[in-house]
A and B are shown apart, each in its own frame.
Chain A
Amino acid sequence: MKQDIKVCPITAKHIKVALVGQPNVGKSMLINSVSNAHLHVGNFSGVTVDKTEVLFDYKDYHFTVVDLPGTYAFTDFTIEERVTHKYLCNEDYDLIINVVDSTNLEKNLQLTSELLTMNKKIVIALNMSDEAVKEGIEIDEKYMSELLGVPCVKVSAAAKTGIEELINTVIETYTKPKIEPKLVFSEAVEEEIDKIVSFLEKHNYDANNSYRNVAINLLQNKEKTYQRISKKAIWTELQSIVVESLAHIELHHDTDDLKEAFAEEYAAFNRGIVAEVVKQTKVESEAKTLTEKIDSILIHPLFGIPIFLFFMWGLFQLTFTLGNLPMNMIDSFFGWLGNVIAPTISNDDIRSLVVDGIIGGVGAVVLFTPNIIILFVGIALLETTGYMSRVAFLLDGFFHKFGLHGQSFIPLVTGFGCSIPAYMAARILKNDRDRLLTLFIIGFMSCGARLPVYVLFAGAFFAPDMAGNVLFVIYISGAMLGLLAAKVLKMTAFKGVEEPFVMEMPKYRIPSFKLIWHTVLTQTIMYLKKAGTFIAGAAMLVWFLSNYPHNVELEKTYSVKIEQAVTQQQKKSLQNKLAQEELAHSYLGKIGKLTEPLFKPLGFDWKMNVALQAGLAAKEVVVSTLGVLYSIGGDVDETSRSLADNIRENIPFASAVAFIVVVMVYLPCLAATTVFAKEAGSWKYAIYLFFFTSVVAYVLAFIAYRVTLLMS
């Protein structure tokens, strides 16, 4: 391929190709082999709900290949199916490449038959032809092209064979006039088609499509065809013919479901095609295939779940041990950057904005990049090997009890690390409702950023040997609350018909390095883009709220005092006092005081309010804000002994319990909420999430407060 790529003359023609296929047919790999291309941002490997465009030049043509999400049929069941179906029906493109798996032709042709009724030029790429040869499957593609009336080309994306022929065939098909594909139905249906066709011929209907195609579309209740034809005068007469035909077909198939009838028609046609063009030279051996052998271990009723838990444990160990190394480097880099830039800005306000607001805020997000990369690699591996479906198979029984889906497990466990990749991981759930429900629950899994708050409070109120157990209890009860919340949501907001769980268990495959690389790269770039835009903006907002309005009077009196102070100790304490006063007078402080009555029933004073509200931005801020407010300086962490002492002296135990409950339940952080909104598909859901978590947090904290008061 490489040598053929050259810069096209300006006169070059554009060919826009829609790449369509069922899931797991190697579409993404094919697109990688076809183009040494310059990929526009998008996703791969089943995680995709967006379409990806790939551009490349070949001979005298500009190619645009639109990689559409994998779809089994046009049933609009999953987001993928909807995206693909909508694109194929409404967008402008020249030609469809239908990628099929040569080792499983009959099933793949089911989608092909639906494509054949679309009145578009089609080229069929018989992918995985090398694998088919290994399995002793011989396909006569010349004969197949003849039978279907559509060019079929053997390719292998993995072995990179037939790619050039495929593109040449696409060009040829593009330049030649369209040939009507030969989709043959059963006699009963053909009869009805003939009736409608002859009616259309008689009345000389000006179709934008062949009469046969119009007839088939009418019989399949295709909206667009109806919209067009029902405006014509012939419709009054035609309608009764169509109604009668439909009744005949339904009778013939003994069903009241037209889609079922046509699916059976297609299946019969495809069986015929396969019988004609496929020769199985090796008899399928009685011995188990490799996939079956692996499955007998990995989805074993007894060992399956422990094996899976071991894999997960390994992934998280990697995420947080391997990820820690570059994290420290990134952390010190942003620290260094702040120190270098700070002296170059003379204006106090601007310096504070740049160093504390922007660099600090974005740095905090970039900090998680190594974790996220490792996690993405892990998830991409799970997906591309085919193991993910097995996980869903094993765990669905347990999760279904709470209204969740087997695959919900992955994002939920990821949530213990950080909610941001967890929200992203929820993309593996194909069904909207399952995904939304999972997204709402992820926050209950306490993320890493909440750990400092827990450590601080557990250390303040419990003996060191007990603190670990308290931490464990906090984490477990958070997860259990999450499952209960799922159950409650399922019975209320997500009530309705149970979505079916029917899922393909694909063959195990050795993942392609290139594919994983692309997947992880594009996802990471998208994450970092967000850090640069949304999250930087949010960080600036929080910075602003906690720093303004400036109280000049206050600063003056304190600067005098600080100068007069004798010891370093006094200076420090005065500076802390100033920080505390300033925060109290900032917008954030005002909000804290304003909302004091609201949080009185939970036993919070305004300082705790402020800490919690600042924590909406990021949980890391809770500890540093408490540090400022309890007047021992903002630069503290959870290990500061004096802060823990201060908290024990100033906060009643019951209030502390309520405080922890709120931290466990309410919104993880602003960055995560942004990601949540994007993954859920609308900001509306972020508002729902805010109210849901806030109400739950409030109610539970109130109960916790009262119960603790009673017990002590």
Chain B
Amino acid sequence: MITKDKGIIAIVAVVVLVAVLSVINSNTQKSEADNGKPLSIQSWQSEHGAKVMYVHAPQLPMVDIRLVFDAGSARDGKLPGLAMMTNAMLDLGAGEWSTDTIAERFDSVGAQFSNDSLKDMAIFSLRSLTEPDLLNEAITTLNTILVKPKFIESELQRTRQQVLINLRNQEQSMSTIASKTFYQALYPEHAYGSPVMGTVDSINAITRDDLIKFYKKYYVASNAVVAIVGDLDKAEAEEQVAQILKGLPEGEAAEKLLEAQPLNEAKRIHKAHPSSQTHVLIGQPGMKRGDEDYLALYVGNHILGGSGFGSRIVEEIREKRGLAYSSYSYFSPMRVNGPFILGLQTGNGNTQQALTILDEVLREFIDKGPTEEELQHARKNITGGFALKVDSNKDIIGYLGMIGFYNLPLDYLATFNERVEAITLEQIHDAFKRRINPDKLVTVTVGTK
């Protein structure tokens, strides 16, 4: 088999070495990667109407599976935290198995299972080896969690206590205080304003029946996307997806979310907190996934504050003045307009100066747009770095879940670079002028005045 290369010390051996190495390489390093070929995404409907997104990645004997339900906190209704609690309870007892047994079943086959709850999405992730005995056990466990959760009353009580501790933990985290305050101010009438983790009152109020009702309505095939990346051919992938979803009712897709309304006026909110720094978040509702201005805003923001060193915000805040370690801007596109955010943390005494600079930088950018040189630089950075965005199964499964969930075209990744190349200065300038109003921003500060 593979001969391990010896440590080679002398430089004079280069010529000989090259010959030796190339022999070894040709024998052992047969690349099966689809180098140069665009990522080929296939999609189909499962038997009961779930959308399946698939990429064949045969290089490693492993598979990543991600289930995404339209069952995030945007579906909480009158009980903030209901979506998160439902998501968290699914693997705490299902079918014949206790929480402990489920944990042992995943661990004993080397599988990694996790769940997560966001504003739009409820997510279940499984990573497993593809060796059939191991994979089948992991898939059976996943299927049972999905279709036969027991919502055991004692586990609900325990989870409730855990969440209450998490809520108290959030009260000692300045970044979380800032973020929760920011979303509430940005979306006063919209579900996005409600905290994913819920509130003390709502968490105490949630009953087992609430969980079951939520589960039955949203955890259905028509409301699901299954993404799968790994060493399974298409037939095998189809078979595994069928196993995962076996017994999941067809149901209905979640109702359309209300649009997020733009802000009527600027808001300034300060939360007092004993601290050495002040955390700053500024923004307003921005854009949605599939937005017609998506790329213009994305490329523009890259220049404004989305690309670290070299972006205007980092130059002005950090490089010229040393005011903050972290400063940035970004759009968080969601089902409906997610936030546009500018943020930083700075020593308490510098807060006003930092706020003034952020305001000036943003206004100037909206007023005049980027320069041709900045646009050229951004294009090169984004397109030149594309290969890095999809260089692992972990990256690809994330994209598949997102593309499937937001109904983006299957060639979203394949055409990404050419669409970025096509963005003009005028489009960026125009999009920022239309979409961002610097007179109607929410400004949240958390810290000691």
Q: Do these two chains really belong together in a complex?
A: no
